[in-house]
Amino acid sequence: MRSATKPPDINNMAVASAPQPDARLDVLDGLRGIAILMVVWWHLWLFSWLTPYINLFGHQSSILLIVPGTGLMGVELFFFLSGFVLFFPYARHLFEGKPLQTVKHFAERRFLKIVPSYVIAFVAAALLIGQFTSPLNALWQTVAHLLFIHIFWIDTWVGVNGVLWSLGVEVQFYVLFPALCWLFRRQPVPVYLLMCAIAVAYRMFAAHRDVANYALMGQLPAYLDLFADGMLASYVFVWLRNRPQHERYAWLATLIAAAAAAGLYALLADLHAKLYITNGYAAWQAQNRQFFGALVAVFTVAALFAYRWVHLAIANPLFRYLGVISYNLYLWHNVIMVYMLHRRIPAPTLPDPHADDHWKWVYTVWSLLISLAISTLITYAIELPILKKGFRALIDPFWRRNAAPGPAPAATVSDG
């Protein structure tokens, strides 16, 4: 009788299949690099008007424009990746018997990852590009941003650094994540479907009320399915990699990844066609975000099991480098680009710099290089040391070697 059969031992299954150690998954690093590339290129294009034309067989083509032209979807890819990496330790607990991460540890890691770099970037943005109407407004903007509630009002949404809105969404999700995770571990499919249903219902309501109201359209419920897609993808990935002989199906995983990539390209091409329609971007996202998230989930899981050359293509050195510095590059690139544009750096030869082709190239190259340099410096001098040393790095920046502290937590995939 089936009911008398002893259930499989998850721990023995994990040992038998010899899963990889808990390390940074290269495909996720590559996808993080792709996400930040999309966002940065989007803003570079908006500010410089430098359209990426290429010559094909004597004809000028804008085929590459689909990348910056749909660049805001890079933020949505970040939300998916957050759901994946945050649930990853809990998926390993379920299927590999790893110790269960506590809520305290989760909160500490999120604080160390997000807040120090965020505060530095916020202060810089407030000084360089902040739009304050009075000292009282400056105080209100500061309080709202430091409490991550700035996305609730349009004036605080755009008052300092427009890209910070996504951090408000992320922190909302962090607050709910322990409860969502507890439910997801017990009933993954029903909770996943519920999260998706809430997201779709909210987007329908918000779009019907005012699709042009980005403060209304940009709240957590509108993105809940992306986080759910990430959590489910993490769950399925860990479950599959603990199945016997999963390596035999790399060919199938590669085909599925290719099909999902083709589907994503078709979706983004459709979005790009709506780019110049009034509110076309927001309306498209409201109607198609659930399909984008589902395809990203299928692609990610399949790519993780695909042939090695797929990993090398996604997690190439450039994308992995961008993935490492992605958080600080996200925080800083808009500050640098807006500051240089408003201060007319470099100086254009025409009253309208967008009519100066030479200025477009010089502005693009220098704003990008400065953004990369600052982001790299802060990542390696501040973010990563804090993640490695924990709260002590905030208290004792010189990290006295003779203090003999206990072993410090190392950066893991869940810190992405």
Name the H helices within 211-316: 214-217, 224-241, 250-273, 280-305, 308-314
Residue 400 pLDDT: 52
Q: Region 390-407: what's the mean pLDDT?
A: 56
CA distances from 5 to 9, 160, 192, 239, 240 (A): 12, 61, 29, 21, 22
CA atoms within 13 A on the CB side of 87: 34
Domain that holds residue 38: 23-383
Buried b (16+ CB within 10 A) or exposed e, 187-221: ebeebbebbbebbbebbeebbeeebeeebbbbbbb
Residue 15 pLDDT: 37
- Greatest CA separation for the chain: 84
Q: Is 206 inside any structural domain?
A: yes
Q: Is 394 inside any structural domain?
A: no
Domain count, the chain: 1
pLDDT band at 338 (very low <50, low <70, confident <90, very high): very high
Q: Taking the model in full, what pTM does it have?
A: 0.89
**Does 246 or 102 have the greater pLDDT score?**
102
Q: Is 303 inside any structural domain?
A: yes
Q: Is 391 inside any structural domain?
A: no
At CA 229, angle to CA 188 and CA 231, rounded to 5?
A: 55
Least reliable range by pLDDT among 92-96, 329-333, 407-411:
407-411
Q: Is 147 inside any structural domain?
A: yes
Q: Is 388 inside any structural domain?
A: no
pLDDT (tens digit per residue) in 118-127: 999 999 999 9
CA 288, chain centre distance (Å): 18
Q: Is 207 inside any structural domain?
A: yes
Output the six-digit token pair for 134. 């009075």
Q: Is 313 inside any structural domain?
A: yes
Contact present, 414 and 28 (Cβ < 8 Å) = no
pLDDT (tens digit per residue) in 137-163: 999 999 999 999 999 999 999 889 999
Phi, psi of 263, rounded to the nearest 5 degrees: -65, -40
